[in-house]
Amino acid sequence: MNRRSLIKLAVLVGYLAFIAISTVIDFSPGKQIGSNFIYFWADLIKVLPFAFVLIGLFEVWIDRKTVEKHLGQESGARGYLWALVLSSITVGGVFVAFPVACSLHKKGASLGVIFTYIGTSAVCRIPMILFESSFMGIKFTAIRLATSLPLVILSSVLLGRYLKMKNYEIRNG
């Protein structure tokens, strides 16, 4: 076992020991951390297997030429619009967005479009927008989207161009 694996194992054992000790001595913050972990883990188990099946189907069913045409270097503003639409209907948040982004990259999507997909999947998923507007109001949600979406797209475009100019290459492996 290498040093990095030992460190990860030590952190995991320490975390589990903290939760166990907190339960034994009735330390409320530690028990709450353990409860939150179980709650979030259960949510992930409900979503991730289906998301990975869909990502696998995407890998098999969607042709590389189609992705390059709609999300590639030559797609222009249309590619960013497609990234926004795709991210708004993605279920599972960034836990699913990163594997989808990896798949998009393998299929030939441009870096700027991939960054837009990741950024907008964090700020404009349809269920999140509906939930937010019901609690914060439609005006607040509209202002937040009108502010955040252009900034996400602008930063994605700039970062994508900068990395292309520097001949940056993402290694799949």
Among 30-34, 48-52, 77-81, the least confident range: 48-52
Whole-Å CA distances, 31 to 9, 14, 74: 21, 15, 52
What is the Cα 10 distance to its own chain's centre? 27
From the number of C-beta atoms within 10 Å of its C-beta (0-12, 13-18, 19+), residue 60 rates as exposed
Instruction: Report how far residue 128's alpha carbon sits from residue 122's, in angstroms, rounded to the nearest whole number.
Output: 9
User: Average pLDDT in the 147-160 region?
Assistant: 94
The residue ranking higher by pLDDT, 110 or 93, is: 110
Q: Which two tokens stand for residue 88?
A: 């708004």
**What is residue 83's predicted lDDT score, i.e. its pLDDT?**
92
Q: Which two tokens stand for residue 27?
A: 């330390």
Among 6-15, 67-76, 90-99, the least confident range: 90-99
pLDDT tens for each residue of 125-145: 888 888 899 999 999 999 999
**What is residue 40's predicted lDDT score, i.e. its pLDDT?**
87
C-beta separation of 81 from 43 below 8 A: no
**What is residue 158's predicted lDDT score, i.e. its pLDDT?**
95
pLDDT tens for each residue of 39-71: 988 888 888 888 888 888 888 898 889 888 888
Whole-Å CA distances, 93 to 102, 121, 125: 15, 6, 8
From the number of C-beta atoms within 10 Å of its C-beta (0-12, 13-18, 19+), residue 105 rates as middle
C-beta separation of 22 from 29 below 8 A: yes
